[in-house]
Structure 1
Amino acid sequence: MKKKQVMLALTAAAGLALPSLHSAPAAKAAPLHDISVSMPSSDSYIIKAGKLNVRTEPNHKGKIVGTLSSEQKVTVNGFVNADWAHIQFKGKKAYISTHFLMKTASQVKTAKQTAFYAPTPKNGKAKKLSSGTEVTFHGWGFSENGGFDFTWAFVEYGGVMGYIQTKDLQLR
């Protein structure tokens, strides 16, 4: 599925207005060794696929050990590159594709003074936010191939959806 199709599907599923996501940051996904993501203590996501395969390995060749259904909640324990999420499934370590996950909202604060870009970093105006400003964390930016781009956090501030660099947020 192409990036625009994934974003349209996620936008519709999330009930968000199209302009808030149509030009989300499209950075190349960071190589595995560059990814360092602090996970909130209850990092909950919702499945946005009819049925999502659960695998033993973080790739399409991993054995399918079950499926998760659309709208089902799942706790993500970590990520393997931008395309796979590590979960517990029936008491065992398993993996699901990030392409069909939508983050449930959580409150976080800025770790330092930072810029809030709306609607996107590329096309938006930056507004400065002070250290300790509370925002609602909705998820990550998207990479060119439709996976996550952990460089950018998709947030809401003052009723406006936009982006803040992930490194500038207190996610724990």
Structure 2
Amino acid sequence: MEMTSDAALVSAATAGDESAFRQLYRAYVRPVFWIAHGIVGSPPDAEDVAQETFVVAWRRLPDLALEGDSLLPWLATICRFQAANRLRRIRRDRDHQTAHEDPIPSAVSVEQQVIASDLAERILAEVASLGEVDRDIFRLCVTEGYGYRAAAEEIGIAHGSVRNRLSRLRTRLRGAIPEESGS
């Protein structure tokens, strides 16, 4: 006799009946796939999310207290969490990959190199005329990429002071080193 109610199938699967879980899988794999696809947007990722959903469901089945006639709302909740995890992983991997890619240098003309070198020298000369704290802020935040809080801790001043002084430094540098017109 084939069991048809989700409650009976869940009960049998919880007791270790793999065929009961297989029936649940067959009944709900397509809706779970389409929920996942709607979130992650790609069929291969949606397939992975659907599979991960059923793996998690199998592990959590003993703790399930079915609140209705259908297992689908519970599976949909698991699917949404798995899809969100997949999206975070995809974004993290993409960000990590782009952060570590060596960009292919574009052809730079000698004229552009001379202009850039001249601009760098003017910026360095202007920075050299700053006070010691402002030079430290410029070095930490602009050159070494420190955040405001980290730079403030390194120098021993307030976070807001770093932010305000850096803003003034940028304004001063823009005023002291006018942009080249042309091109």
When normalised by structure 1's length, the TM-score is: 0.20
Q: Rg: which structure is higher?
A: 2
Higher helix proportion, which one?
2
